[in-house]
Structure 1
Amino acid sequence: MNIQPMQSKPEIIAATLEQEILKGKISDGDALASESALVKRFSVSRTTVRKSLGILAEKGLIRTRVGIGSFVTFGDKLLDSPAGWSVALADRGMRIGTRVIRIARILPDLEMPDIAEGQFVLAVDRVRFRQDDGTGLTLERSRMPWHDSFAGVLENGLLEGSLSKTLAACGQSASSGKEWANVLLSLGTGEAALMGRTPGEPMLRLRRLTRNAAGGVVEFVETLLDPRHFGMRMEF
């Protein structure tokens, strides 16, 4: 009896994508989904996705083009977990709690691209904090164009405490995106109160916009991060 060897996660993902290519679901010259989209689709790390793409490249099924990617780091270590930042931070040895400040249907209160005047959004505001002293490490404000499928979120909250899982369950999937980073020179009084920090502190500010395959906005998120712990890494 022949015993088939167990396939690794990269091999399983590569085999799945290979079948999609060979069956014509992905045509020659088409772009594959972004690494971030593949991470969410297969619930694996970015490293695993890259190994899968390497297998496809070795078989001559895909061609890669050099681009630039930006990644959030904590203590100079890449935050790379499909389960989200809280799990990734816990893996770094810091006990982290998450507090949901608000889940509501509102008119846009942030400078959000491609949102029509008067269009409602789903707002999800969260603080991640150190459990040892309660100090806020991040303040995350997510805005999603309103869909009727979000109605249950207002009543039941996030699925398993995860915004990514909630969006997926509501049929919202990102296939591309872009991110900006700059420094917020002075933390405002209201933001400081939410984070349990001192007004006037400088913070790292990230803004990320993701879109679906049709080009529509899936999510716009603005995150303030403690620069003593977080940074940005660019790969090209």
Structure 2
Amino acid sequence: MAQPEPKTKSERIARVLEAEIRSGFLHDGAALSSETALVARFAVSRATVRKGLGVLAAKGLIRTKVGIGSFVTYGGAVIDNGPGWSLALSEGETRMGVRILSITRQPMDLDAPQVAAAEVLAVDRLRFRENTGRALTLERSRVPWREDFAALLRTGLEQGSLSRELELRGLSPASGEEWANVLPALSVADAALMGRSAGEPMLRLRRLTRTASGRVVEYVESLLDPELFGLHMEF
């Protein structure tokens, strides 16, 4: 049965965007255009655009969180970036697996802003979808070295979680910074680790967290599949 014609401008906007979502033109995880862009596209007021988006939200086709700043979308779901996207995703509905590639004590090897540590605990991980085994991200975590990390080199991480190990040692993030950019080409080495083609573009996130006293907790560089993840900013 054909749907009734939309009666209002907001319903028309919702109808058009819903068709784009269901057709795959707006794929899973894609961020919608900004309100400003939608106002210009449909030649309506901002209030009308918001009503249209509200219709989509009510149908569960989009999710909007006002005032949270940057976040990562995956599979159409909004992930709270406060604790870090990977932790939030692992605690959500998506079945994620993690494979630890290496845990070492070594000199700092990443260009990490504001991290002056000569030696770090270095943890490299792959996260993948459990149902397909497809690698979603490659993460490199660097934590200023402490002697009580030595046991981790022998025993590994409890349940594969570095965040849990840091919390057990009183290292809880209270603030931080995050940078995002597109990495034009995946290196041959990283492509081999992720089972991808060298030269593929990737989304790169860099995240630095600190304790309440300003001490560096962790620096992480993550490479993410740009077809599945996207950044969105509300202001």
Range of TM-score over shorter length = 0.5 to 0.7
Helix, strand or coil at the partner of 1:139:
strand
Is 1:86 matched with 2:90?
yes
For 1:60-99, list aligned pairs within 5 A. 69-80=69-80, 84-88=88-92, 91-92=93-94, 95-99=95-99
Equivalent pair of 1:76/1:230 in contact (CA under 8 Å):
no
Equivalent pair of 1:134/1:196 in contact (CA under 8 Å):
no
Alignment gaps of 5+ in structure 1? 1-65
In structure 2, the residue matched to 1:100 is 100
In structure 2, the residue matched to 1:6 is none
Pair 1:96–1:160, CA change in 2 (3 A): closer
Write the distance in 2 (CA, Å) between the matches of 1:72 and 1:163: 20
Equivalent pair of 1:208/1:222 in contact (CA under 8 Å):
yes
In structure 2, the residue matched to 1:26 is none
Which amino acid letter does the alignment assign opposite residue 146 of structure 2?
H
Equivalent pair of 1:99/1:126 in contact (CA under 8 Å):
yes
In structure 1, the residue matched to 2:190 is 191
Write the distance in 2 (CA, Å) between the matches of 1:134 and 1:220: 26
**Deviation digits for residues 145-176 of structure 1, max 9, x if unmatched?**
01122112111111222111111012111110
Tell me the C-alpha RMSD between the 2 structures. Answer: 2.1
Equivalent pair of 2:96/2:129 in contact (CA under 8 Å):
yes
Helix, strand or coil at the partner of 2:227:
coil
Write the distance in 1 (CA, Å) between the matches of 2:217 and 2:72: 20
Q: Identity over the aligned pairs, expressed in percent?
A: 57
Write the distance in 1 (CA, Å) between the matches of 2:113 and 2:159: 29
Offset, 1:67: 6.9
Write the distance in 1 (CA, Å) between the matches of 2:91 and 2:102: 21
Helix, strand or coil at the partner of 1:171:
coil
Helix, strand or coil at the partner of 2:154:
helix
Write the distance in 1 (CA, Å) between the matches of 2:68 and 2:96: 30
Write the distance in 1 (CA, Å) between the matches of 2:194 and 2:219: 20
Which amino acid letter does the alignment assign opposite residue 73 of structure 1?
T
Alignment gaps of 5+ in structure 2? 1-65
Write the distance in 2 (CA, Å) between the matches of 1:204 and 1:76: 17
Taking structure 1 as the reference length, the TM-score comes to 0.65
Write the distance in 2 (CA, Å) between the matches of 1:157 and 1:134: 22
